[in-house]
Structure 1
């Protein structure tokens, strides 16, 4: 119970901050080697599985993608067995079970809940937090070296005790170098989970960046990697020594910033908080089916459901959508692979779930092969704009949800949970543990789902004294 209280109230374990008169010193070090703190959970999905099942601690655990397809997270013990992320489970299942590997379906509800608790705890240790993804966040440090290290170690200890998740911490003058320091902390047990970039640089010199392939530098994608390697730029050190201006002209201002960050110059601004779920350019909802879908009639059920899920995010961030895209595809391993995609431009921007659902279905209505076995479909809401700031000529107003259908769906979902009400198959619930999903034959399969102990009353763990 005490650990649970700590998770919800980080002040219980927050570091004691002494009253200081040298505030100028804090400001002075804000752009020095300790400015950026990156906290990243170790093997997050796999670690979450051990929180309510301590018997899994130290054992090889893998978490699978939608429909129990591929490995997406591995515990340290599973990594030692040579299991690689992205490996299809059916290919290694026999050997994995022989080796004692425990497989779990993706428990998104549990992961999101524990992520929220973890971020809440860490937010009490530094002045500013930017939640970058479900398992990592950037924190801004204004303390000196000794105090910053003490705070990082206390934060790490508090998260482990209060939430049950091990976290690695990298500290550096820039976000890119903090990423490198964080990976160093994960790979070197002697660091005890906290690493400062300036310590790495002093100990290893140029070898620190020389040992990092350019493909592993944050912000360098696969396509850029191929071009860079063709230019003889194969390591992070090679990239650091490039002329930033030439890199900007040859590639982009984003890669130029990466070069500057590798040199210790902070130039990557904070992004929208990932925990808020705000999307500025597009909102995507895509799933693989548990069994192949044939024909437009059945496919339109899924498109309508995905459009409503995307519309839920649209309402949550108070945006309007100007264009709706939909796509579907068969298995890439099939003899005749087929991928179909199309978009519909709305007459006026809208947040009406009925308008968006209809547009998603119309986008593929005349393109579907009635006999093709589609295994994936998705809906994208594009050309987003802020609903409050949207203005245009008279008579060209947005297609607002005048009847409040979207608002009714939102209220019902918050009060009764998802799938209690919706348009078409959007309101048809599954049975048993799948009651929060769509009750259709194509809905996502999770046969090895662990308990959702933080979001389901009927699945709360029982503690025996």
Structure 2
């Protein structure tokens, strides 16, 4: 069967005049999100091979459709393909996190107005819930897609199905088949192709099936989503887990996966991690502690924003894994009482690695992790054992300053003199993240706002 000749999902949906009202899961996913964001304020990039790089311009993390057609794979180190990319006309951009987050917020806001419930699953995708019949669901999704493209400049693909797992498959179908016009209804493709739809999906591409589970399932003779759909759910639960059992049931059309915490608010229930690679190796505790202090304050920002306390603080650093003298150092400190104070957390992060590192080792990465999280509003214990709350309001002051003047305009301790020029929102220290191919931050910087000439 040639799946490239799939008829329009709209035609299929509208041909079913007996379609009944049903609960539908709608998955809207931006196409090549980071790369697509780069074209919003630079239309000349549209249709060209473009890659977006990770921290410190390290590896490819997003590719335009043209770059994918050239065989460039996510995770490829940029230094390995830089020469060939220049020869082939491939363009590269540093990760513009400010721009991506801003456009994601706009995109999610637009889509939230089309259906009654929205679950932001990640920066570039969300689940929506609908109760309309197939025809009206399709038309609403089509209008939503056109509104996002016209108002934000980002193309999205939409899959509609009775479960989240099937919505993922329908969404992937919409991406792979231009005749679907970016919107695919599971009922339409299932009616047209039957079991061949699930048979065309490799087991490794089923949502919720990881790499290790894939190997075990293939060892049992399961190679496609259809094989997993036909498996005994009880056997799957005993051999693997209740989570994979839910995947089996979802493939059969039974909703089993509940909504998770909205990714747009960044809430974490178990830990908060802030980790970065340095643009150049760091030696000595005095310099390393600068980075630890900055990362601790960034982690505290998230902690404060979600109204939590942390009971312990972990810090770590490591040298290059490719060096023969690879070294990884990590340690944790249990706080006397749970705290949300950036002063307490930053001090604990530095103390965790004091006298533990090699003063001459070239560390290329460090991070701070806040553990044992609890709800600040409901924390209670014995009298005299209260939490170390931010009684002086330093965290609030830092939040207000960042909101009014931008990030890292004020902080605790010496974290490296603030950068200049386009890097004025970061420290000016040698370990600051490198972004040499950064595009304009047209939605968050007054001095980088694009100018339209009439």
TM-score for both structures, normalised by structure 2 = 0.94
Verify: 1:173 aligned to 2:162, yes or no. yes
Note the alpha carbon deviations across 1:134-156, whole angstroms, 9 max, x for none.
00000001111111101111110
Q: 1:207: how far off?
A: 2.2
Report if the CA contact (8 A) 2:313-2:333 is conserved: yes
Note the alpha carbon deviations across 1:179-225, whole angstroms, 9 max, x for none.
11101110111111001112222222222212222221111122222
Distance 1:75 1:242 in 2: 37
1:48-87 equivalent positions in 2, closer than 5 A: 48-87=37-76
Q: Which residue of 2 aligns with 1:133?
A: 122
Q: Which residue of 2 aligns with 1:10?
A: none
Report if the CA contact (8 A) 1:419-1:426 is conserved: no
Q: Which residue of 2 aligns with 1:453?
A: 442
Distance 1:417 1:196 in 2: 43
Distance 1:425 1:130 in 2: 40
Distance 1:353 1:47 in 2: 36
Displaced runs of 4+ in structure 1, greater than 6 A?
none
Change (3 A) 1:343 1:226: farther
Distance 2:261 2:182 in 1: 27
Deviates more, 1:110-119 or 1:329-338: 329-338
1:209-228 equivalent positions in 2, closer than 5 A: 209-228=198-217
Note the alpha carbon deviations across 1:287-315, whole angstroms, 9 max, x for none.
11000111222111111110100000000
Which of 256, 259, 264 aligns to 2:248? It is: 259
1:222-241 equivalent positions in 2, closer than 5 A: 222-241=211-230
Q: Which residue of 1 aligns with 2:233?
A: 244
Distance 1:122 1:426 in 2: 40
Verify: 1:357 aligned to 2:349, yes or no. no
Q: 1:241: how far off?
A: 1.7
Note the alpha carbon deviations across 1:3-49, whole angstroms, 9 max, x for none.
xxxxxxxxxxxxxxxxxxxxxx99x7343xxx100000000000000
Report if the CA contact (8 A) 1:214-1:234 is conserved: yes
Q: Which residue of 2 aligns with 1:420?
A: 409
Q: Which residue of 1 aligns with 2:81?
A: 92
Q: Which residue of 1 aligns with 2:375?
A: 386
Q: Which residue of 2 aligns with 1:116?
A: 105
Q: Which residue of 2 aligns with 1:323?
A: 312
Distance 2:352 2:211 in 1: 31
Q: 1:175: how far off?
A: 0.4
Distance 1:62 1:286 in 2: 23
Note the alpha carbon deviations across 1:218-246, whole angstroms, 9 max, x for none.
11122222222222222212221222222
Q: Which residue of 2 aligns with 1:17?
A: none
Distance 1:439 1:222 in 2: 40
Deviates more, 1:90-99 or 1:361-370: 361-370
Q: 1:416: how far off?
A: 1.1
Report if the CA contact (8 A) 2:311-2:339 is conserved: yes
Distance 1:269 1:367 in 2: 44
Which of 13, 21, 33 aligns to 1:29? It is: 21
Secondary structure of the residue aligned to 1:349 is: strand
Q: Which 5+ residue runs of structure 1 have no aligned equivalent?
A: 1-24
Secondary structure of the residue aligned to 1:442 is: coil
Report if the CA contact (8 A) 1:429-1:437 is conserved: yes
Secondary structure of the residue aligned to 2:378 is: coil
Q: Which residue of 1 aligns with 2:7?
A: none
Q: Which 5+ residue runs of structure 2 have no aligned equivalent?
A: 1-17
Deviates more, 1:237-246 or 1:63-72: 237-246
Report if the CA contact (8 A) 2:174-2:184 is conserved: yes
Report if the CA contact (8 A) 1:421-1:428 is conserved: no
Distance 1:293 1:256 in 2: 47
Which of 123, 131, 135 aligns to 1:142? It is: 131
